[in-house]
Amino acid sequence: MTILTIALKSLRGRLLASTLTAVSVALGVGLVIASVLMAQGIREAFIASATDYNLVVGAKGSPAQLVLGVVFRIDVATPNVRYTIYEALRDDPRVEVAVPVMVGDAYLGFRYVATNGTYFAALPWRRKSFSLAVGRFFRDDPLGSPQFEALLGSEAAARTGLRVGDRFYEGEEMADYPFTVIGILKQTRSADDRAIFMSLASFWEMNEVARGLAVKPLTAVLVRPKRMSDLPGLHREYNVAEETQAVLPSGVLLTIVNMMAVAQEALTMILATVGAIVLLYVFVAMYSATLERRREIATMRALGARRTTVLGIVLVESCTLVTLGGVGGILVGHVAAFVAAAMLATRSGLVTQPFMFDAVQPAILAVVILLGTLAGLLPAVLAYRMEVAENLAPLS
Amino acid sequence: MTAVSARSAVDLCDLKKSFPVADGGNLDVLDVEHLTLSAATCTVLRGRSGSGKTTLLNLIAGVALPSAGVIRVNDTDVAALSEARRDRFRARHVGYVFQSFNLLSAFSAIENVMLAMTFADVVPKRLQRQRAAELLDRLGLGARLAHKPQHLSRGEQQRVAIARAMANNPSIILADEPCASLDARTAGTVLNAFLAACRQDGRTLLLVSHDEAVLSDADQILDISEFNRAEAGKAAS
């Protein structure tokens, strides 16, 4: 037998207490890991969705609302602008790409997003790419002859159960305008996974208000200038205009990240408190176990175990407990992050990546093992200093 | 009684042990001018409760240090050794059977025996399990190797404790009330195991016991009041 096997058998000998200690460590570590994963995931989800376009042009109002409503579909959409704004931007020589976006109602909670084929185009500067899991993209049907074709994001398809060829509509008043599913996108890990895409013509025809308007409405126009030097000019021009505001998504993103940083500071303090409680629990558990095992430790010493040997056994025990708890905590954290990511996606449309392994997690594990082992140091010293003869007799 | 061999296994000289008490003074528990245990003999130590028998065993085993005097075990001054060397010496030369067995509940019978070998590091690791199994088998516990102490009878526990004490082939075995709380049949089995260790293997036995069966088989019977001056002093006062 070795110190490790002796320590493991001692832990097994008090299985319930050992399990509870390891579980408490796992829960504490899991909470930290889940929080880190979710914070990272939310930040990356924001960045991944927001950085393809340099400018979002929409109606006057809150810049954050415009970006959150159009790009992330979290907030309520801003009022509409006229389609002519899009045409002006499309034809502007300074603009490389302009994409019209109309955010509308929803089917079973999945937002209608009307746009044109450019939205899905593979462009060299795009971080996000769209590809079909099945079917095809919808056609940019001309105004007046809508085809009512719908392209579903991956999650929208999975959750609604719609398949290619299915027809659907939301509410009896829309029964005259059923959409036909013509394709389903592969997962993009963005708000687009939860969207139901359609052509602008189809949307306008379905929408009672838009149907009657001579100049059709849009929620916003996503803009990519040819040269970055043109961005300030475009930004200023569309902000000065009476009808529109132009928002730099990166600026809004920075605001969101800064807000998250404040929340994360508070969260860090809470997590640090949780960590301290868990370490205290490990300490109390190991200290109690050492006190309860005074006779066993004295017996080992009487059998010839050196002081350093019993010190090592207790340290290996606490190290083993926190290692098991720490590894379990990483698994618990990922499961919790997975559940939280699903809930976040359902409630806010923000799609995060719950399974990420990076340097932070081994670092957290290493810190937990180090601190947990240190928490076992005092009980180990207690075992080290224990007088043999005094503790050989039964405790009673 | 059988003849006592000449070579001494344990020599105590001017041995004193006292413990601090609440009023700031010291309580003298042991005061032994001289005591010798010859090698390969079975000595029974008896005396009233609290007379210092267990303390004497602890001192010989080196788990406690004397307040004064010399303890020679196999010609080694145990108290003069550093703590680490004393631990090693005890592991290799002294087998100790505690009154309440002190088996470790998390370990099976065979693992309890192997523990002693692990700490002593005398028996090669690859042979430890085999030797532990052989020792337990000799004591009639061949079918109980994997049983935890709490699943063994008191007699079986006692035999595991004896096997553990003999694991490192020590020259001296100390046993504190080995037959207390055992029924007559089990006590007989245990005693036979001890006597076999002495008669067949040539080990020196020091047993604390008041059991008549043990007394009748001993080479030497010592009453602690006869050589412990601290005990005599207490009786006089």
Shortest CA gap A376–chain B (Å): 20
The pLDDT, as a whole number, for residue A348 is 62
The 3-state DSSP class for residue A296 equals helix
Contact B102 A392 (CB under 8 A): yes
The pLDDT, as a whole number, for residue B183 is 75
Name the residue with higher pLDDT: A345 or A129. A129
**pLDDT above 90 for A298:** no
B101 touches chain A (CB under 8 A): no
Between A13, A306, A389, which is nearest B106 by CB?
A: A13
pLDDT tens digit string along A329-367? 989 988 988 888 877 776 666 666 666 667 778 888 888
The 3-state DSSP class for residue B61 equals helix
Which residues does chain B have within 8 Å of residue A300's beta carbon, measured at their own beta carbons? 104, 115, 119
- Identity (one letter) of the amino acid at A388? V
Q: How confident is the model at residue A94 (pLDDT cuts 50, 70, 90)?
A: very high
Do A38 and A353 meet the contact criterion of CB atoms below 8 Å apart? no
pLDDT tens digit string along B222-234? 998 888 887 766 6
**pLDDT above 60 for B237:** no
The pLDDT, as a whole number, for residue A353 is 66
* A50-54, A77-81, A392-396, B46-50: range with lowest mean pLDDT: A392-396
DSSP state, residue A61 = S
**pLDDT above 50 for B4:** no
The alpha carbon dihedral of B4, B10, B15, B21 has a sign of: negative
Of A146-155, A206-215, A283-292, A358-367, which one has max mean pLDDT? A146-155
Contact A302 B92 (CB under 8 A): no
If you average pLDDT over residues B72-94, what whole number do you get? 89
What is the rounded CA–CA span in Å between residue A284 and residue A21?
Answer: 10
For chain B, the average pLDDT equals 85
ipTM over 0.90 threshold: no
If you average pLDDT over residues A310-319, what whole number do you get? 89
**pLDDT above 80 for A49:** no
pLDDT tens digit string along A244-272? 999 998 888 788 778 878 888 888 888 88
B116 touches chain A (CB under 8 A): yes
> Which of these, A199, A100, A216, lies nearest to A147 by C-alpha position?
A199
The 3-state DSSP class for residue B219 equals coil
The pLDDT, as a whole number, for residue A209 is 74
Name the residue with higher pLDDT: B15 or B50. B15
**Given the DSSP bridges, would you call strands A55-59 and A244-247 parallel, antiparallel or unpaired?**
antiparallel
The pLDDT, as a whole number, for residue B211 is 76
Do A245 and A60 meet the contact criterion of CB atoms below 8 Å apart? yes
Token digits of residue B123 = 């028996």
If you average pLDDT over residues B17-44, what whole number do you get? 86
C-alpha dist (Å) from residue A126 to A54, A56, A309, A346 = 11, 16, 61, 26
The pLDDT, as a whole number, for residue A352 is 66
If you average pLDDT over residues A1-7, what whole number do you get? 89
Taken as a whole, chain B contains a residue count of 237
> Which of these, A31, A53, A126, A45, lies nearest to A348 by C-alpha position?
A45
The pLDDT, as a whole number, for residue A132 is 94
Contact A1 B111 (CB under 8 A): yes
Name the residue with higher pLDDT: B133 or B182. B133
What is the rounded CA–CA span in Å between residue B173 and residue B182?
Answer: 19
Q: Note if the pTM is more than 0.95.
A: no
Do A103 and A72 meet the contact criterion of CB atoms below 8 Å apart? no
Do A52 and A125 meet the contact criterion of CB atoms below 8 Å apart? yes
Chain B, 118-137: which have a CB under 8 Å from a chain A CB?
Answer: 118-120, 128
**pLDDT above 60 for A395:** no
User: Which residues fall within 8 angstroms of residue B233, CB to CB, at 6 or more apart?
Assistant: B28, B31
What is the rounded CA–CA span in Å between residue A334 and residue A144?
Answer: 50
If you average pLDDT over residues A171-186, what whole number do you get? 86
